Structures are given as C-alpha cells and as structure tokens.
Amino acid sequence: MAIGIDIGGTNLRAARISGTGEILDRISEKSAPDPELVLSRIAEMVRRLDSPEVAAIGIGVPGRVDARLGAVLSGGYVNLASISLAQRLESLAGKPVVIDNDCNMALVAEMALGAARGHESIAMFTIGTGIGGAVVQDRRIVRGKGTAGQLGHITVDISGEACVCGRRGCVETTSSGTALGRHIARAGLGRDVSLDQLFARDAGGDPLARGILEAWAGPLRAAIDTTVAMFAPDLVLLGGGLGLAAHRALARAPALAPWYQCPVEPAQLGDDAGVIGAGLQALATKAAVATVSLPSARLDPGRLVVPGQRAVLVNGIPASGKSTVSRGIAERMGWPLLALDTIKNPFLEVLGGGDREFNRTLGRASYQAIWSVVGEAPASTVFVVDAWFGFQPRQVLEDHLRRAGVEQTAEIWCHAPGEVLAERYRARLDQRPAGHPGAAYIPELIELAKCAEPLRRGPLFDVDTTKPIAFDAITQWLQATIAADI
C-alpha cells in the first residue's frame, strides 16, 4: 500500500491506498500559502497514516512539476517551488516519495478506476480553487519536456484578468472556483449564494443567475474546444471539487464548431481522485521493496512513469568496509561503480598531496564529478556509488541527485565498532596517498563511529562488516528493490 496526498488551494487531503486503489483511511487539513506550513502539515498527516505496510508516498502538487527530477518548478495558489518537497519528506518519512502535477495524479486514478477506463486519449480539467490540466495520449501522460498539460493556462481573453502565472486571461481566471466567486460578487449577489441556488434561479428564468453561469462556463467551453483542436481526445473529463457543477453549467455553453466536438463527461472519483492517483502512481514506480499489485483496469505503470537514473548508495564512514561491499555489488550486478577515492586519489598523487582542508575541497569536487557522470549517462542506468555521504550536508546530496535526474535510490549502510575501524585505518596508513588524514585522525574516527547514521533515504540494507558479507542476500534485495523492472 501507499500514502496518496493531494495538495489543493483550500484543502490538503491524504489517504492510505491499497494496491487496487481502495482508500483504507483518510484525513484532511486546511491548506496554506506558506510552503513550510504546508510541508509540516503533510508530514504530520503522513505520520498519522503511516504503517509498516506502506511502501511509498505519492503527492499531487498544483503547478508545474518535473516528475522525472522530483522538482516543483512553479505553483499558483500553493507555491511549493521554494522547497525540496520530495527530498525533505523522504528524509522525514524514511520512504520513497513520488511527486507529479495534481491533475496528472487524478487522471491516473480515473484511468484505473473511473470515467477514463477503456479510453486511449483523454484530456482532463480539474476545477477547484484554480484549474488544473492533464493530457493522455495512447495511455501515456503527455509531458513535453517535463511540464506539459497546463490546460488551466489556456488563454481565453488576452485582455482579461491577471493570472498567477504572469499572463492575462487564462481560463483559470474565468472558470475556476475563485473566478466563480468574482462573477457572483460582480453581479451583486451575496457570498452565501450556492451553486445549487444559482442553477435553481437559472431554471426559474433569472437572467442574473444565467449571466453568472454563462460567464463562468463560456470560457471553459472555449478552452475545451482549443484542447480538442490540439489533441483530438476520445474524451474530455471535468474533475475536481467543481467538476460536476462545471459540467452542468456547460449546458449554457454548447460546442458550436463541428470540428471540435468531443464527449465531455464529469469525472467519477470526485475529490478522491487525487489521493488515489497519487497512491497508485507511487506504487507504480516500484520504488519500494514490496511487489505491488496494481489495478487490472489498464493502468500500465511502465507507461506512466518517466524512467530516470538509479543509484545504490553504499554509505559508511572511513574504514567501514563500504569499498569491499561496493566492488562486490558491482561485480555481481554488472553495474558501474563510482567511488569518491577513485576520483580523488589520482589528483592527490599528481599534485603531491596537501593539507586536510585541501583534501576536503578535493573531496567535494570529486563528489560533484560523480553526480555529473551519473547525469550524463543513458536513462535508467544503475550506478553503485561508494562514499561517506555524511561528509556533506544532506541538501547537497539532494541537489546533486535532482540535477543528475536520479529517480530512485537504495542505501547499503556499512558499519563496525569504532575500535575495529581504528585498527583497519591504522593498517592502511602507508597505502593511502599523501593528503589523506594520518594517524591523528583515528580518535576522531572512533568518535564518529558512535554517532554516524545512515541516510535512510528510501529502502535500506544494513551490513555489519565485522561479519562475512552476505552478497547473495544483498543482490537479491537489490533485485527486488531497485532492479525489479530493468
């Protein structure tokens, strides 16, 4: 199972989702414009929903999201671009996190369990505080270079209202829930007028109510027609909290151009679509150890998830045995190995060494070089990376992973008691190039062993290197964790 999270301008919704898309438990909180406050509320919801059976976390985020890099690029009413959402939640929860645009997540759910079952080409508008959009062709989410499908920002009036995206007259400014409130206010009606009352007054011949509904639905119809002209979908879905009402209001704005006619239907899953889709998409990445049972309703995870790089992070402090473990994994799995010392030592030899600060500087540069190599490799390559990841701030690693396009990591944590590490380090002093810390470092190493901890960034395998290395168990675990769909 997974935790699915849907971030909206008004509400934050979270649910524990089974492998077949069933909601097992749910909670909600109020949203907020402050990204740090949103993150703290999400983290608390995850804590309340988490259980040992939860394998991954999926989050639907409003705005432009690069799903492959796990990065929020921009937002509207809730702008999370200023924080490393996926990485920070992974650090807090200790489980892999998948993020995508919120409407993409909702459409995943509708394809699996809702109104889009059996359709190959779909466009979806989610009508809420703002307007989200998603497009699927041949049951693949259309991403362009990473952030396509922003249907809420189709221009319907070049001289219209200013939009949060920086332009004017986007359909979000005319046909969202926020826009509906403006239409009602400008008509002189009170804030307490409900949509049901508007529809009832319209049915009774009230021209004021009819004008409000036409002003709300007319631009949406224009945006739908434009979408049909661009993508020729089998179906247009209207979802979100106001999707059903928007579908009803479109009766006042029928499609007139015969070229751009397409069935328009309300989504079936309502406000649940976002959390269901986020949970299913998190499971579909196979970022967790457990094998996940996905819905049979033509949800093809291989076609919904953009492949990126993968990395086995063999982590441990100096002399912890991580180099032996790294080489063993690389030999058995056939994956390329990148080690911090492998890059750093030739420079120390050529340059004749240096003081400890120079060694640290060279280490940081070597660390950057490792992730540059990873980023330039073919997509879906699995690298074994040998390093003490605690020598740099966690955010430095997260930034490198994001820039390198690393979609999935698994961690091997190598450790031994400080006294053992001291003996190993002392025995190798004459084998290390000048520039590495000498015997004076040993007391510091012993103290470091007492407090060093793994990253706990996703799946974790613990290796006590005072015992024979169980390479068969490690490789089996890696096959299930990070190589299951290679």
* pLDDT single digits (tens) 376-395: 888 778 999 999 998 888 88
Residues 444-463 have pLDDT tens digits of 999 999 999 999 888 899 99
Distance of CA 437 to the CA centre of its chain: 40
Q: Is 145 exposed, middle or buried (0-12, 13-18, 19+ CB in 10 A)?
A: exposed
Least confident segment among 100-114, 242-256, 303-317, 351-365: 303-317
* pLDDT tens-place string over residues 283-293: 886 443 333 33
Alpha-carbon gap, residue 373 to 368, rounded angstroms? 9
β-pair partners for 161: none
pLDDT for 482: 80
pLDDT tens-digit readout, 170-181: 999 999 999 999
DSSP 314-381: EE-STTSSHHHHHHHHHHHHT--EEEHHHHHHHHHHHHT---HHHHHHHHHHHHHHHHHHHHHSPTT-
Give every CB contact of residue 391 below 8 A, 6+ residues apart in sequence: 360, 363
Structural domains present in the chain: 2-101+272-295 (3.30.420.40), 115-266 (3.30.420.40), 309-481 (3.40.50.300)
Cα separation, 406 vs 395, whole angstroms: 14
For 303-332, b/e burial (b = at least 16 CB within 10 A) is ebbbbbbbbbbbbbbbbbbbbbbbebbbee
**Across the strands, what pairs with 313?**
385, 411
> Mind listing the pLDDT tens digit for each residue in 16-75?
999 888 999 999 999 988 889 999 999 999 999 999 999 999 999 988 888 877 888 887
Q: Which residues contact 104 (CB under 8 A, 6 or more apart)?
A: 60, 65, 67, 134, 141, 149, 277, 281
| Dihedrals phi, psi of 25, to nearest 5 degrees | -160, 150
Separation CA 324–CA 143 (nearest Å): 41
